[in-house]
Amino acid sequence: MAAGKKAKNMGKAAKGKTKEVTGKVVGNETLEVKGRAEQAAADAKQAAQKSKDALKH
């Protein structure tokens, strides 16, 4: 996996986790859900990238 793409996906997942935790702390369900969605999107992109890499080898 390209290191840049991996770091970008990890950054997006961390950003999503931050939103999720912030939403829990302040009681904002919308922010919490958005955070979970960002994490899921980042995880999906990372899984797709790993699949691409597996096919190359």
Residue 10 tokens read as 């990890």
Tens-digit pLDDT profile for residues 5-49: 888 989 999 999 999 999 999 999 999 999 999 999 999 999 988
Nearest to 37 by CA among 23, 17, 22: 17
Domain ranges of the chain: 11-20+31-50
Q: What is the pTM of this model?
A: 0.82
Mean pLDDT of 53-57: 77
Task: At 27, give phi and psi (nearest 5°).
Answer: 80, 25
Please give the single-letter amino acid code of residue 30: T
DSSP one-letter code for 51: H
Whether 34 contacts 18, CB under 8 Å? no
